[in-house]
Structure 1
Amino acid sequence: MERNPDKFWNPYLAGVALGLVLFTSFLVMGSGLGASGASLRAGIAAIGLFAPDHVASTPPLARAAASGHVTWLVFEILGALLGGVVAAYTSGRLGAEVLRGPRIGKGARLALALAGGVLMGAAAKMTRGCTSGQALSGGALLSVGAWAFMFSVFGGGYALAWFLRRQWR
């Protein structure tokens, strides 16, 4: 397929597809979508390989290790990664690149992305849920806290965009 960096999926069709995935998740698994739980479960599994006594003696780790959601969450994340690859391929955007503006170098762009990821990971741990879990699943359940979270994320994003806009022009 010819590479076209300006081609994207239709956002309305992608939104409907995401809604159907969320509905299917509730219908089949009995829970919504969320990404931070998978990394937590994967980390606990890794610790369990080297220090199983530590996992067993730490109540939050032991509860998470005993949860039946371990396999489901890991497969959800693998499905999200596979879905991203399929979406990029079918829209002609699959390729290794660092998207950035003309005023920022690749190293700085990657450092900002890493810092943002660490910040979002820490926030997900503090708020007991990631953006996808809070916004998609919580929003679909009409949770007041999820809606407050979504408005805060969008408001913070718009406020920060004003400061970073010059990097992309």
Structure 2
Amino acid sequence: MNSSAKPYMNPYLAGVCLGLVLTASFLILGTGLGASSGIARIAAAIEGWFLPEHTANTTYFGAWGKHPLDYYLVYMFIGTIIGGLISAVGEKRLSFQLEKGKLCSSWKRIRFALIGGLLVGYASRLAQGCTSGQALTGGAVLLTGSLVFLICLFASGYATAYFVRRQWDD
């Protein structure tokens, strides 16, 4: 991180702000937050540019019609990227780096990150939602399944950390 960068926002204040954004989403859009549907619809649009007939005839992408980008989560996803970029530039935190422990090679870290990202992306589409939608939106309306999911998510994260902790600095 750049030495002239400002300190990060207080996490409690950030949580309140996120709650306000979620509340605004419910009031304005009538629905909550999420990300994976936006990414999937962008993939459908890209595939549709190259293989329009194939895309239209697939069970998954074809159900979204000829205009898969006409969906609020596409714009929410794009806005999140643009907002994060503006924030990073404005706070002088924009840098390209690979975070890893001393004992983990760069290629191993990249390989694990790609495999993990593909698995999480596939699972989120299989479940018809991502962790942010499940945790934020489902948790906000106190859905039992979402609360159980959150407990399982954190428990599995701690359990997984046990097996990979040797790759990072002590």
TM-score normalized by structure 2? 0.85
138-147 or 63-72, which deviates more: 63-72
TM-score normalized by structure 1? 0.85
Q: What is the percent sequence identity of the aligned residues?
A: 42
Structure 1 contact 7–92 (Cα < 8 Å) conserved: no
Aligned length: 169
Cross-structure match for 1:153: 153
Structure 2 contact 42–69 (Cα < 8 Å) conserved: no
Shift of 1:58: 4.0
Shift of 1:86: 3.8
SS at match of 2:94: coil
SS at match of 1:65: coil
Task: Give, as a single letter, the amino acid of the residue that structure 2 aligns with 1:35.
Answer: A
Cross-structure match for 1:165: 165
Q: 2: distance between equivalents of 1:97 and 1:20?
A: 32
Task: Give, as a single letter, the amino acid of the residue that structure 2 aligns with 1:121.
Answer: G
Cross-structure match for 2:129: 129
Cross-structure match for 1:77: 77
Shift of 1:60: 4.3
Greater fraction of residues in helix: 1
Q: 2: distance between equivalents of 1:117 and 1:82?
A: 21
Task: Give, as a single letter, the amino acid of the residue that structure 2 aligns with 1:147.
Answer: L
Task: Give, as a single letter, the amino acid of the residue that structure 2 aligns with 1:133.
Answer: G
Shift of 1:78: 1.4
CA RMSD of aligned residues (A): 2.6
SS at match of 2:63: helix
Cross-structure match for 2:20: 20
SS at match of 1:9: coil
Shift of 1:91: 4.9
Structure 1 contact 9–87 (Cα < 8 Å) conserved: no
Structure 1 contact 38–70 (Cα < 8 Å) conserved: no
Cross-structure match for 2:29: 29
Task: Give, as a single letter, the amino acid of the residue that structure 1 aligns with 2:161.
Answer: A
Call closer, same or farther: CA 1:90–1:159 in 2, change over 3 Å.
Answer: farther
Structure 1 unaligned blocks of 5 or more: none
Structure 2 unaligned blocks of 5 or more: none
Call closer, same or farther: CA 1:92–1:165 in 2, change over 3 Å.
Answer: farther
